[in-house]
Amino acid sequence: MAISNAIVIGGGIGGLASAACLSRRGMAVTLLEQAPKITEVGAGLQISPNGMAVLRAMGLETQLENRGAVRGEAVVLQDYRDGKQVARLDLMRGQAAHPYMFMHRADLIDLLWGAAKRGNVSVELGIASDHCVPGPLPQVRLADASTRRAKLVVDASGIHSKTRGMLNATNEPRFSGQVAWRALVPNRFSHPNEAHVTMGPGRHLVSYPLRGGKLVNLVAVEERNSWAPEGWAIADDPANLRKAFDGFGGRAGEMIAAVERCTLWGLHLHPVAETWQSDGVALVGDAAHPTLPFLAQGANMALEDAWVLADCVLNAPEEQALNRYQALRKPRAKRVIKAAAGNAARYHMAPGLNRFAAHTGLRLASKIAPGAMIGSFNWLYHHDVTAKA
């Protein structure tokens, strides 16, 4: 193993997973996180089988289940007026080798941090990095003007990564014309162990249970002309959410009415970075490929990146490792992001003949060929980066 040490920037899912995967085979890893403590609050996420493959290979599956992660049984598309089912994708049919799980983001962060510590990763908190300098011995320039050096630098600092800007021509994000509210509510609504996508004109609500079914995670997306800032920790008045989703009936309307606190997130379009690596510096997760949340793949792509990067670094010749990482990951990231961007239009159709025809087609397909519906996602869910190692 020619690359003997690494610095990872960012203590989110991609950074912690990268640090843990690199350290599993003896590499000395230091993780730098600008926050005074590693924590995550207020959001759920979906770990699909492709992401679960990585967590299982890391030895975290049992711990995940002990934290109250909920096994997803289906994705259900339903109409906004009364919650009537339009289509059901049975996640238990033709199942991949790994389960589909719903969990709180904070619980996954905690598990990954534990894995990093067990791998003897040195975690330094309150350390703000400024930018990276690729080279034979890459440098991390810190905000206090000091520098750190390692044979490998992994930037997992997210959508605001300065390293991405150094490796690529500037690509300013473009507002997608959509915003998303996030909220958690107590599960007083007998929400089943399913992800529900409640579809309305110009808007949709995603809901699924967390922490053993005690909570329900809500993500409410609305099309709008006015710009909103990017960043999903910006507090907003629940009254704005209720106004935007007035007319949603059934369980969806009841859950929206129960929201006491929420955040607002402006959804922006970012191109996949053309260059992911150079001279010992590599991008992971949102730093390389931010995605819209309409395929629930942000965390899963970060987990896949972390495993493949570590596998390439630990097993390929040093001069080929990062090129191989980019070659393996970039085409898949592009496909996932394209698929995610296309889902919003399907969810937001206005009342009329087109919506009626589309929903009728979904109902028929769900009844006549349910295996074909879930099978259309095999390229996504059955992809196992750990099996390709």
C-alpha dist (Å) from residue 279 to 19, 26, 135, 153, 283: 19, 22, 5, 9, 12
Token pair belonging to 94: 């033709």
Integer Cα distance of 16 and 177 in angstroms: 32
- Contact (Cβ atoms closer than 8 angstroms) between residue 96 and residue 381: yes
Nearest Cα residue to 294 out of 253, 265, 274? 265
Distance CA 269, CA 291 (A): 7
Spatial distance between the Cα atoms of 204 and 243, rounded to a whole number of angstroms: 14
Instruction: Look up residue 314 and give its amino acid.
Output: L
| Catalytic status, residue 208 | yes
- Evaluate whether 288 touches 305 at the Cβ level (below 8 Å): yes
Residues in the chain, overall count: 389
Q: Do the beta carbons of residue 312 and residue 385 sit within 8 Å? A: no
Strand pairing category for 281-283 and 85-90 = unpaired
Distance CA 3, CA 226 (A): 48
What residues are paired with 201 via a beta bridge? Answer: none
Give me the catalytic one of 208, 325, 347, 381. 208
Which residues are tagged catalytic? Answer: 208
